[in-house]
Amino acid sequence: MNLIVLKEKLTKRLKLNLPDMKTQLRMLVKPDKPFNFDNKAQDAIPAAVLILLFEQDDDIHFVMTERTHTVEHHRGQ
């Protein structure tokens, strides 16, 4: 697969409806501890993720990094 084919597939899939709720719940992450999200929308901080995709050896790859253990939040992730 190349990036052009991937783009075409993603474009088609993003136009489809999501799976039913039962299927979505089955794929839901099950945390070890209860998750308490009490933040308010007005307190939200805009964020983004950049995924670098590249072709190599007739396949698509992406870069993964690991945070250092010296940062304040999310060490080692």
Render pLDDT for 21-49 as a digit per residue (tens, 0 to 9).
Answer: 999 999 988 888 887 778 888 888 899 99
Asked whether residue 55 is assigned to any structural domain, the reply reads yes
Domain count, the chain: 1
Q: What sign has the CA pseudo-torsion 11, 12, 13, 18?
A: positive
pLDDT tens digits, 44-60: 889 999 999 999 998 99
Among residues 58, 67, 35, 6, the alpha carbon closest in space to that of 75 is found at 67
Asked whether residue 34 is assigned to any structural domain, the reply reads yes
Asked whether residue 71 is assigned to any structural domain, the reply reads no
Asked whether residue 75 is assigned to any structural domain, the reply reads no
CA 13 from chain center: how many Å?
16
| Whether the predicted model's global pTM rises above the 0.85 cut | no
Asked whether residue 8 is assigned to any structural domain, the reply reads yes
**Could you tell me the residue range of the domain that residue 38 belongs to?**
3-62
